[in-house]
Amino acid sequence: MSASKPLIGISTYLERTRFGFWDVEAAVLYRGYLDCVVQAGGNPVMLPPVGTWTAETIGFLDGLVIAGGADIDPATYGADPHPMTGEPRPDRDATEFALVEAALKLDLPVLGVCRGMQVLNVALGGTLHQHIEGHNEAPGVFGHTDITVLPGTQLHAILGDHTNVQCHHHQSLDRIADGLRVTAQAPDGTVEAVEMEGARFVVGVQSHPEQDIEDLRLFEALVGVARRKA
């Protein structure tokens, strides 16, 4: 590890993508994640949903971001699909569950973003509400929500009592997995953040901090802990 530039892995997804002369399937990621990691003092490493991801294969990393994206297959938490639930992406589900398991085994700092927070909850045995209203204005349009942060939490030390976040989701946490603690909520009671009790830094947020390059507090917190890799 470089003391000045921790390596932060970020999960990616496979999509049909056009660039140059090509129209092919590619591993892609919204650039905001990369820019936020760099501006926070880290070096980003893109992790595709192919290959084998274990504690041994990600041991070179200093931290991990599970990125936002498609709905998790409800079969992974023992539920039937809701009519509004998107098509399952088993490649990504399997990869990100494996990344979470490996990161926890290594005690790597983890930041779960939107879907990433849901992955963290499901990977540890929790469940999801498959459809809620009021947190997804329109496809590709981020809404704004004021959230209240619970005192005495890692998130409170980073964000304070209240903050305004950007959101774009139609699912949310239902039953909270053992070991996770709810640390923030929206005005309607939607769970906006969780963290793992006893971990150096395992934080999930339902919002999209990568959308605001001017507010790097969460990414700076992740990179700061990663710099002190155990």
Is 220 an active-site residue? Answer: no
Per DSSP, the three-state class of 121 is: helix
Question: How far apart (Å, rounded) are the C-alpha atoms in residues 211 and 177?
Answer: 27
Neighbours of 161 (CB within 10 A): 10
Q: How far is CA 30 from CA 11, 209, 228, in A?
A: 11, 12, 27
Residue 116 φ/ψ, nearest 5 degrees: -60, -35
With left for phi above 0 and alpha for psi between -120 and 50, is residue 80 left, alpha or beta? beta
Of these residues, 36, 96, 114, 167, which one is catalytic? Answer: 114
Per DSSP, the three-state class of 93 is: helix
Give yes or no for a contact between 50 and 92, defined as CB atoms under 8 angstroms apart. Answer: no
Is 167 an active-site residue? Answer: no
Question: How far apart (Å, rounded) are the C-alpha atoms in residues 129 and 202?
Answer: 22
Of these residues, 96, 192, 195, 210, which one is catalytic? Answer: 210
Is 169 an active-site residue? Answer: no
Of these residues, 135, 168, 169, 208, which one is catalytic? Answer: 208
Lookup: tokens for 133: 């209203």
Lookup: tokens for 56: 């041994």
Cα–chain-centroid distance for residue 159? 17
CA torsion angle for 137, 9, 194, 156 (degrees, to 10)? -100
Per DSSP, the three-state class of 113 is: strand
Give the active site residues. 114, 208, 210
